[in-house]
Amino acid sequence: MKKVLVAMSGGVDSSAALVILKEKYDVMGVTLKLHDGELEQDGMKTCCSLRDIEDARQVAARFGVMHYVYNFKELFGEKVIRNFVESYERGVTPNPCIDCNRYIKFDGLLERGISLGCDYVATGHYARVEYDEKRGRWLLKKAVCTDGENEKDQSYVLYNLTQEQLSHILFPLGGLTKSEVRSIAAENGLLNAEKPDSQDICFVPNGKYVEFIEKYTGRRPVPGDVIDTGGKVVGRHNGLINYTVGQRKGLGIAFGKPAYVVGKNVADNTLIVGSEQDLLSDTLIADELNWISIESLTEPILCKAKTRYRMQEQPCVVYPESDGTVRVEFYEPQRAITPGQRVVFYDGDIVIGGGTIR
């Protein structure tokens, strides 16, 4: 019987994944200790707390499954938290959940699992992995359900997976809805069957990013000018890390009409504001690319793409550039395309690949 290391966060999804897989595989559970967060801060649910570890342990014990706790705090601090802070200081908006999947769950953990003699690592992500004989490649595909598309699909945050990693990954929830997963948990008497989903970024559960960055760096944000798209000074900001592209509230300026953050210039410490129309763009450049369904991009392709997790993918053309980046041209202008976020390309339910928006 093949061995599977199931990453258990203490939540219902990963617990249900273990329940499903134990019928076919020799499973063991592992919970990753990533930081020193508590279960709740200011009423916000987070992960990686002592309570989460205990919940995972109890689920594993219920089925006689070995459970381990791995301390990945150092790796998480280097690859996820540090990048989060440095990205904000560079004036871009990071996605730490994608970095966590890339460097922690499907790099560090997979390496650990293989060293323990496991054939696969499994998680509670809503996505699918299939091998395409015709292409000779492993494919990452969107989650599905009986009604078609699955609103819990998480393929967007998994676009960095490599062919080698995909060959050792199981996503048992890829054909289930959240309600079906909770039903499986309830039917098996799991204590976390109704446990709420984690919210916000796990190491900043109260959403106070600026306070976290100040504490991490020991530096306070430097105020500067707010300018309009024509370069006219229209106010003052209290530090660029306080703002993101598309933001409207909390600008504290008299613009004469609704004002939105449309850009940041770290070099001269200016915040650029404009109208909602100024947020629209039909083109972006992306680098740090990872391709899944194809070996590489050598000619333009027609596909769909999305620049945020919670959006419907949009038709576009992706052009390879000589410097190794890609230029993405959308059929229709998109709102608030944000540097530092990720663009992910789709061919139907197949993830072609993705990259970082520059």
Annotated active-site positions, please?
Answer: 100, 202
Are 358 and 352 a contacting pair, CB within 8 Å? no
CA dist 333 and 280 (Å) reads 5
Are 358 and 285 a contacting pair, CB within 8 Å? yes
DSSP state of 204: B
Are 47 and 41 a contacting pair, CB within 8 Å? no
Q: Where are the beta strands (DSSP E) in 34-132?
A: 40-41, 44-45, 67-71, 120-122, 127-132
In total, the chain counts a number of residues equal to 358
What burial class does residue 240 get, using C-beta atoms within 10 Å of its C-beta: 0-12 exposed, 13-18 middle, 19+ buried? buried
CA dist 262 and 247 (Å) reads 8
List C-alpha distances in Å: 342 to 91, 149, 347: 15, 21, 17
Between CA 306 and CA 313, with CA 308 as vertex, the angle to 5 degrees is: 25
Long-range contacts, 330-334 (Cβ 8 Å, 24+): 330/282, 330/283, 330/305, 331/282, 332/282, 333/280, 333/281, 333/282, 334/280, 334/281, 334/282, 334/307
